[in-house]
Structure 1
Amino acid sequence: MTNKVFKVDSVLEAFSLIASFILFLMMIHVSLDVFLRHFFAIPLPGTLAIFTYYYMTVVVFVPLALAELKDSHISIDVFTQMLAPSTQHALSKFTTLLTIPVYTVLAIRTWEEALNKFSTGASVLQANSSIITWPTYFVLPVSFALIVLVLSKKLVSRV
């Protein structure tokens, strides 16, 4: 089956474009902070917290599903390449079947944590500023759910 079952490719591309934009924004923000700090002794408030909680979370977790879709994750296939193609296929289906519940649990657990952080209004203090952080906790469950969709698509297409 092709993309008629799961149309996640375009969704993943959109999320990856968002992550790319966030990466560009991070570069501009940090460069501006360094420039202002070095030449005018005026750091941008909250740069460290925004970098840590917002930029890095999106840049690291959002593209994971696209990497899975494109089989770009690191893999070691020294032993599996010596197996028969049918065995490789069966092993691939088996590992996908094992991986889906793991990412599902991660999605559920991080969703619960995101709801907890939302309900408490999680934030961090940096200098004299309070920066809300609860929105960033929702990036993880969305990212893990996207990986589950990709793995499900792979499982269906490998039948």
Structure 2
Amino acid sequence: MTAPPASKGRRAIELLIEVPAVVVAFVMMLHVTANALLRYFVNSPIPNTLEVVQYWYMPIVAFLGFVAAQLRGQHIAADLVFRMLPRATKPYVTAVGCAASALMAAGFAWYGWGEAVHAWEITMTAGVSSLISWPTYFLVPLAFASLTVQFAWATVQAVRSPDADDADELSSAKQPASV
């Protein structure tokens, strides 16, 4: 399923999400490659490479990826049963699925916020190293709050547009929805 042509505002939001993810992925690639080369040729790896990748690069790439995929409507959907439903019920099933997803994402955001605040209060570090890791804990509530809004919007659009031919059209025309 592909997303429709994006408006200028939507495209700006996509760039705001995707450019940092690409930059971080590229920097991570350079960091890991430099670490491997230095380890092999000079026997002097870059300190804390594993921790930086695990606690900084990967959470940024993963959570920005979740948000970008939902915004573009590019999550994987297995609609084996959905295609057999009567046409009139499909938008409502989509709405219920999106509402449930919004509630679940809101729960993850709420729980993640508490964990992020706790990590900040105790100045969490990456494993046994002295590398701080608490700032990346705030990515969890931020990403899931964004997903909550996206799923809530998809729920509203599904209820507003019950005449859509298919959930694929509904989700790509209005807001991505994965059920």
**Normalising TM by the smaller chain, what interval?**
0.7 to 0.9
Between the aligned partners of 1:68 and 1:58, the Cα distance in structure 2 is 16
Q: Which has the higher strand share?
A: 1
Alignment match, 2:145: 145
Q: How does 1:69-88 map to 2 (within 5 A)?
A: 69-88=71-90
Alignment match, 2:56: 54
Q: Classify the secondary structure of the residue corresponding to 1:124.
A: coil
1:36–1:44 contact (8 Å) kept in structure 2: yes
Between the aligned partners of 1:12 and 1:104, the Cα distance in structure 2 is 21
Alignment match, 2:12: 10
The 1:138–1:87 alpha-carbon spacing in structure 2 relative to 1, beyond 3 Å, is same
Q: Which runs of 5+ in 1 are unaligned?
A: none
What is the TM-score of this pair, normalised by structure 1? 0.87
Q: CA deviation at 1:147?
A: 0.5
Q: CA deviation at 1:146?
A: 0.9
The share of aligned pairs that are identical, in percent, is 28
Letter in 1 for 2:110: I
Q: Which runs of 5+ in 2 are unaligned?
A: 1-5, 161-179
Between the aligned partners of 1:9 and 1:101, the Cα distance in structure 2 is 26
Q: CA deviation at 1:8?
A: 6.4
Between the aligned partners of 1:8 and 1:103, the Cα distance in structure 2 is 21
What is the TM-score of this pair, normalised by structure 2? 0.78
Q: Classify the secondary structure of the residue corresponding to 2:47.
A: coil
- Aligned-residue CA RMSD (Å): 2.0
